[in-house]
């Protein structure tokens, strides 16, 4: 049995400070874009493969051994210069047996995106290769910041799942989703020349694809 499930959690679930700051951010952005404010959501993934369950998410870095949380990558928050300090770094988890915090507050969830074990395996293998852009910054120039939603959108897209068709709950918005899609397109473009070069050296033509390891 295999599946990839997506959970939509209200921004700030379980924490009043993040929730209030998120509402203020959305109010200002909506005012600038001349629209009504929407509810903000962030996404988490749960993958089941060969009897094991994995949680994939991006979070602040707590104290403790990262190996116990399945950490496979880290990145800076706010500024690369601040990234030397733990409080200004995030971690990406591929956590065997992990749990999505505040999953009880998830809305319109879980959404089962795929049940193909090959796709589930490919998604798991790609987690350590996610770009680690600066959280909260628009380094891709797409008018969208890099955050946990970007991680999920990037993973779905490069794994072959139609991430563009995935929408948050009604009257909701998922900041960072577009940034993840843009990063996935950039990853695919970067992979194409290297695949073509390998095919040229061997005298064969092969379809461009994103290579994966068997590290899980």
pLDDT at position 194 is 54
Residue with tokens 């008018």: 143
Measured between alpha carbons, how far is 68 from 60 in angstroms, rounded to an integer?
Answer: 15
pLDDT at position 213 is 37
pLDDT at position 188 is 82
- Structure tokens, 76: 């800076």
Q: What angle do CA 59, 60, 66 make, to 5 degrees?
A: 85
pLDDT at position 90 is 96
Measured between alpha carbons, how far is 30 from 38 in angstroms, rounded to an integer?
Answer: 8
pLDDT tens for the chain, residues 1 to 216: 899 999 999 986 655 445 667 778 888 888 889 999 999 999 999 999 999 999 999 999 999 999 999 999 999 999 998 888 899 999 999 999 999 988 999 999 999 999 999 999 999 999 999 999 999 999 999 999 999 999 999 999 999 999 999 999 999 999 999 999 999 999 888 776 554 455 444 443 333 343 333 333
Domain ranges of the chain: 3-202
CA end-to-end span of the chain? 16
Strand ranges (DSSP E) for the chain?
Answer: 3-10, 39-49, 52-60, 71-76, 89-96, 107-114, 172-173
């Amino acid at each position: 049995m295999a599946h990839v499930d997506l959970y939509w959690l209200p921004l700030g679930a379980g924490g009043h400070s993040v929730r209030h700051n998120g509402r203020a951010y959305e109010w200002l952005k909506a005012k600038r874009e001349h629209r009504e404010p929407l509810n903000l959501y962030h996404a988490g993934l749960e993958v089941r493969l060969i009897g094991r369950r994995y949680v994939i998410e991006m979070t602040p870095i707590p104290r403790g051994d990262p190996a116990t949380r399945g950490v496979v990558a880290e990145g800076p928050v706010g500024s690369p210069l601040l990234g030397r300090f733990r409080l200004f770094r995030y971690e990406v988890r591929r956590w065997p047996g992990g749990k999505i915090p505040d999953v009880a507050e998830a809305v319109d969830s879980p959404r089962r995106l795929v049940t193909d074990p090959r796709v589930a395996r490919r998604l798991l293998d790609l987690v350590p290769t996610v770009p680690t852009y600066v959280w909260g910054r628009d380094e891709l120039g797409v008018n969208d910041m890099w955050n946990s939603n970007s991680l999920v959108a990037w993973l779905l897209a490069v794994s072959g799942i139609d991430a563009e068709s995935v929408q948050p709950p009604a009257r909701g918005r998922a900041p960072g989703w577009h940034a993840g899609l843009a990063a996935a397109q950039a990853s695919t473009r970067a992979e194409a020349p290297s695949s073509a070069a390998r095919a040229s050296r061997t005298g064969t033509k092969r379809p461009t694809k994103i290579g994966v390891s068997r590290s899980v």
